[in-house]
Amino acid sequence: MISRRGLIGSIAAGAGGLLLSGCNKINADPSVRTLLKSAEAMTMRAQRIIADRSALAPEFTAADVSPLFRANGTRIPAGAEYEEHRRTGFADWRLTVDGLVSRPMSLSSPPPGP
């Protein structure tokens, strides 16, 4: 026998599923999208009024974003050790995996292809 609490939970889950299944159709409606955008703008204004401006995440326009994605750090490090590895095609390069691991190992770079 199902309990009253279980029945209510099942009905609520079913109703929630029905509501969510209609979200794509609702979101496709231009008037709904306009309403959501205006609500988002109102929320942002309220945040700016209530919160300290420095507490919010910085916002950037499309013009502020670089079209080039740069690697974090540098792709060509400076130093004699790196230059030696680069000169030899990383033939002697090894990555050591040790410490609190179940299988310590030392990995090398793959041999150069044809």
pLDDT in tens, 23-46: 667 777 888 889 888 998 998 888
> Which one has a higher pLDDT value, 65 or 11?
65
The pTM of the full predicted model, rounded to 2 decimals, is 0.31
Q: pLDDT-based confidence at 67, cuts 50/70/90? A: confident
DSSP H helices in the chain: 4-21, 23-28, 30-50, 80-87
Strand partners of residue 107 = 95
Q: Look at residue 19 and tell me whether its pLDDT is greater than 70.
A: no
**In this predicted structure, what is the pLDDT of residue 106?**
94
pLDDT in tens, 71-104: 777 777 889 999 998 898 888 889 999 999 999 9
* CA-to-CA dists, residue 82 to 17, 29, 52, angstroms: 56, 57, 46
Q: How far apart are CA 55 and CA 48, in angstroms?
A: 9
> Which one has a higher pLDDT value, 22 or 28?
28
| Helix, strand, coil % in the chain, rounded to nearest 5 | 50, 5, 40
